[in-house]
């Protein structure tokens, strides 16, 4: 409604629209606003009027950034709207593992009550060690929450200098140093060629027996077959996942379908970001970027993703 009020003509296409149809509609577009659909070089190259590509969200993996940069088309995302929100979601998932929420809730629904038995015995978080892979905005929020629960927090993030390292978080130079010390591990890093498959069979094996694993970042950060094997073998004490290499997850016909049958696994439908407050911030920030593009102003890049920071035309950077 706001864009129409500004005089823009909107063409609405479903996510997953075929490339040829998308290219046809974008050919005379001034602005491309997208969420999940792949924006390929072929699409960008047939849009001579395009002033910007705005991702209403964080992840930019579906956009051919190189092609956009070559054409001088700025690309921006909205990185700040849900940093605290997603951290809250990650901590909720960690808590659900420690307190055995999934099997206890199933017991309550089935029988109405649960008496103290060994199978319901839960864990304190206080005194446990949480490992973080990535201490960007979300990782730092997660660290602060864990500290409030008197957890020891360790982290590995080669992209953060010692001078910028968050207080109260012990620095581990390598994953090999981090993993054996973790009672729980939570991923908070971006997906790129270096981080893809970061957690494989060897890394899961390096975790303490019984450790919990939380992923709210990207499914492709893991070798998901190795994750499933570590759960089925009993080496991992549990996993709580909000993201998957193939979405949507499904109880049948999906490589990770066996997760549904495991009491120590919580599967969440990629919705840790989805709150009233976060959606209001997302709308406001997205409209601000659209306004910049339509007015011919430099687009504000708040993300520290090096792919966006490498842009030299039509953008301005803020910390």
Active site residues: 218, 247, 270
User: Under a CB-based contact definition with an 8 Å cutoff, are residues 75 and 63 in contact?
Assistant: yes
Helix axes 137-148, 83-98, angle to 10 degrees: 40
CA 167 vs CA 136, 147, 158, 191, 272: distances in Å: 13, 11, 16, 25, 26
Do the Cβ atoms of 212 and 92 come closer than 8 Å?
no
Q: Compute the radius of gyration of the chain from its Cα atoms.
A: 21
C-alpha to C-alpha distance for 51 and 75, rounded to whole angstroms: 9
Following CA atoms 241, 246, 247, 251 in sequence, which dihedral angle do they give, to the nearest 10 degrees? Answer: -70
């Amino acid at each position: 409604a706001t864009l129409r009020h500004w005089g823009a003509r909107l063409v609405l296409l479903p996510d997953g629209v075929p490339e040829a149809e998308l290219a046809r509609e974008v050919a005379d577009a001034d602005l491309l606003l997208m969420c999940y659909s792949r924006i390929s070089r072929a699409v960008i190259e047939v849009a001579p009027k395009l002033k910007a590509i705005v991702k209403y969200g964080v992840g930019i993996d579906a956009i051919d950034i190189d092609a956009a940069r070559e054409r001088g088309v700025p690309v921006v995302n909205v990185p700040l709207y849900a940093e605290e929100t997603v951290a809250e979601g990650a901590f909720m998932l960690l808590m659900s593992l420690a307190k055995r929420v999934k099997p206890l809730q199933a017991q309550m629904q089935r029988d109405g009550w649960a008496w103290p038995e060994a199978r319901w015995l839960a864990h304190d978080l206080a005194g446990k060690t949480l490992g973080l892979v990535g201490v960007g905005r979300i990782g730092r929020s997660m660290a602060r929450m864990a500290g409030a629960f008197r957890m020891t927090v360790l982290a590995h993030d080669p992209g953060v200098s010692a001078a910028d390292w968050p207080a109260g978080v012990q620095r581990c130079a390598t994953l090999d140093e981090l993993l054996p010390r973790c009672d729980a591990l939570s991923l908070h890093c971006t997906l790129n060629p270096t981080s893809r498959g970061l957690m494989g069979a060897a890394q899961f094996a390096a975790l303490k027996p019984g450790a919990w694993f939380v992923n709210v970042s990207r499914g492709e950060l893991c070798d998901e077959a190795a994750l499933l094997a570590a759960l089925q073998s009993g080496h991992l004490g549990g996993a709580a996942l909000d993201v998957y290499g193939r979405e949507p997850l499904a109880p049948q016909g999906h490589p990770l379908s066996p997760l549904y049958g495991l009491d120590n696994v919580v599967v969440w439908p990629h919705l840790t970001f989805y709150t009233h407050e976060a959606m209001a911030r997302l709308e406001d920030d997205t409209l601000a970027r659209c306004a910049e593009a339509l007015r011919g102003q430099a687009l504000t890049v708040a993300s520290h993703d090096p792919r966006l920071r490498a842009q030299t035309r039509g953008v301005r950077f803020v910390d």
